[in-house]
């Protein structure tokens, strides 16, 4: 186990270095001359040269790459062109909103998914179970942005119950009130997945011998279901939570744009549209780091809960 984790951790380092190289090469790949985009048509050559040296575009690429790496290690992600502030500060300002949104979405998905899955396993082979399976298929095929749009149409436009934009003025109740819609929208797709996983895992556990033994001892049904079976069946669900957090980070892009919330996803979309190169690089780097960490947790928890993986 320890060797597996160490190997997996070491493998991350070259991956991140290559991710950095890809992000670095964006300045050569993005269409248009950065100096032109930033300064506009009336820039003098001196201004352009000054800016190019500030962005590190006047040196050979490997030289600039090393400088780029050095700066990153020192925690300097550059300065945003249009916001005129440190990229790191801009990102750290919005990151908590994305983290809270993702965790709230995951929490809702786990709670609702396990509830639906348990009901489906309990009423297996009935029409109610078929209905629940269909519900989980439909939620699993609802993209985040459609869930968001439908929630806005129903709860904000028709019933005026939930706010459709923003994050509130900072009070706890306001914050939660503004979080309900976005978190629900984010959770919808993963709810269906967890429900299906819970159902199949429960059915598999209930089929095993020790459950039959307990039944023969006359232990009450609900006790067997929720005490013994659930305890065992929950392992694969815990194992996919890491994977789910990574997926929801991607879904947060849409939720933040639709609900007009500040956050990492919206920051990346805005900076791509504005061609704010340092901000694109910084934002994508942080997103990739979070994603790699989530995947790392997912892999390790898989290996922990399902020892067969380690051998691969």
Q: Closer to other proteins at the Cβ: 55 or 299?
A: 299
- The angle that helices 87-122 and 172-206 make with each other, rounded to 10 degrees, is 40
Site for other proteins in 52-71 (CB under 8 A): none
Contacts with 104 (C-beta within 8 Å, 6 or more apart), sequence order? 179, 183, 186
Q: Which stretch binds other proteins (CB under 8 A): 19-27, 39-47, 171-179, 214-222?
A: 19-27
User: Does the footprint of other proteins cover residue 29 (CB under 8 A)?
Assistant: yes
- Answer for which of 184, 249, 279, 300 binds other proteins (CB under 8 A) is 249
Looking from the CA of 296 toward its CB, the CA atoms found within 13 Å total: 18
Q: Closer to other proteins at the Cβ: 68 or 225?
A: 68
Containing 269, the helix (H) or strand (E) segment is: helix 264-274
Q: Give dist(CA 178, CA 165) in Å, integer.
A: 8
Residue 85: both structure tokens together = 């502030």
User: Does the footprint of other proteins cover residue 250 (CB under 8 A)?
Assistant: yes
Contact indicator for 192, 140 with CB cutoff of 8 Å = yes
Q: Closer to other proteins at the Cβ: 112 or 283?
A: 283
Residue 242 Cβ, how far from other proteins at the closest point, in Å? Answer: 12
- Answer for which of 16, 49, 88, 99 binds other proteins (CB under 8 A) is 16
- Answer for which of 22, 103, 165, 176 binds other proteins (CB under 8 A) is 22
User: Does the footprint of other proteins cover residue 40 (CB under 8 A)?
Assistant: no
Site for other proteins in 260-299 (CB under 8 A): 265, 268-269, 272-273, 275, 280, 284, 287-288, 291-292, 295, 299
Please give the full DSSP string across 20-78, using - where no structure is assigned: HHHHHHHHHHSSS-HHHHHH-TT--HHHHHHHHHHHT-SS-HHHHHHHHHHHHHTT---
Residue 277: both structure tokens together = 């190169």
Q: Give dist(CA 114, CA 230) in Å, integer.
A: 10
User: Does the footprint of other proteins cover residue 146 (CB under 8 A)?
Assistant: yes
User: Does the footprint of other proteins cover residue 142 (CB under 8 A)?
Assistant: yes
3-state secondary structure of 168: coil
User: Does the footprint of other proteins cover residue 94 (CB under 8 A)?
Assistant: no
Q: Give dist(CA 60, CA 252) in Å, integer.
A: 37
Q: Which stretch binds other proteins (CB under 8 A): 18-26, 47-55, 167-175, 210-218?
A: 18-26
User: Does the footprint of other proteins cover residue 150 (CB under 8 A)?
Assistant: yes
CA distances (Å), 115 to each of 31, 103, 184, 191, 201, in order? 49, 18, 15, 10, 13
User: Does the footprint of other proteins cover residue 233 (CB under 8 A)?
Assistant: no
Q: Closer to other proteins at the Cβ: 206 or 287?
A: 287
Q: Give dist(CA 147, CA 149) in Å, integer.
A: 6
Residue 118 Cβ, how far from other proteins at the closest point, in Å? Answer: 20
User: Does the footprint of other proteins cover residue 203 (CB under 8 A)?
Assistant: no
Of 118, 161, 112, 159, give the one whose Cα is nearest residue 140: 112
- The count of chain residues that interact with other proteins, using the rule CB under 8 A, is 53
Q: Closer to other proteins at the Cβ: 190 or 302?
A: 302
Q: Which residues bind other proteins (CB under 8 A)?
A: 11, 14-16, 18-19, 22, 26, 29-31, 130, 137-138, 140-146, 149-150, 152-153, 157-158, 236, 240, 246, 249-251, 253-254, 257, 265, 268-269, 272-273, 275, 280, 284, 287-288, 291-292, 295, 299, 302, 309, 312
């Amino acid at each position: 186990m320890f060797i597996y984790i160490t190997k997996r951790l070491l493998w991350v380092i070259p991956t991140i270095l290559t991710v950095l190289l890809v992000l670095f090469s964006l300045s050569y790949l993005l269409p248009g001359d950065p100096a032109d985009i930033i300064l506009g048509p009336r820039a003098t050559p001196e201004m352009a040269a000054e800016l190019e040296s500030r962005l590190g575009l006047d040196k050979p690429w490997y030289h600039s790459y090393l400088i780029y790496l050095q700066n990153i290690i020192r925690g300097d992600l550059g300065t945003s062109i249009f916001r005129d502030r440190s990229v790191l500060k801009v990102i750290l300002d919005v990151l908590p909103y994305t983290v809270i949104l993702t965790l709230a979405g995951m929490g809702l998905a786990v709670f609702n998914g396990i509830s639906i899955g348990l009901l489906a396993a309990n009423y297996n082979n009935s029409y109610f179970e078929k209905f629940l399976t269909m519900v989980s298929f439909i939620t699993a095929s609802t993209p985040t942005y459609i869930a968001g749009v439908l929630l806005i149409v129903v709860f904000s436009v028709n019933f005026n119950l939930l706010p459709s934009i923003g994050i509130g003025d900072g009070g706890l109740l306001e914050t939660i009130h503004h979080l309900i819609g976005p978190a629900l929208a984010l959770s919808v797709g993963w709810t269906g997945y967890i429900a299906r996983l819970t159902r199949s895992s429960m059915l598999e556990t209930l089929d095993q011998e020790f459950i039959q033994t307990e039944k023969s001892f006359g232990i009450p049904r609900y006790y067997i279901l929720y005490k013994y079976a659930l305890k065992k069946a929950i392992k694969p669900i815990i194992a996919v939570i890491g994977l789910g957090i990574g997926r929801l980070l991607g879904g947060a892009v849409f939720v933040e744009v639709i609900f007009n919330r500040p956050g990492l996803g919206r920051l990346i979309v805005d900076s791509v549209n504005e061609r704010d190169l340092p901000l694109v690089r910084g934002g994508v780097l942080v997103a990739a780091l979070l994603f790699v960490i989530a995947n790392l947790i997912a892999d390790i928890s898989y290996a922990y809960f399902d020892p067969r993986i380690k051998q691969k």
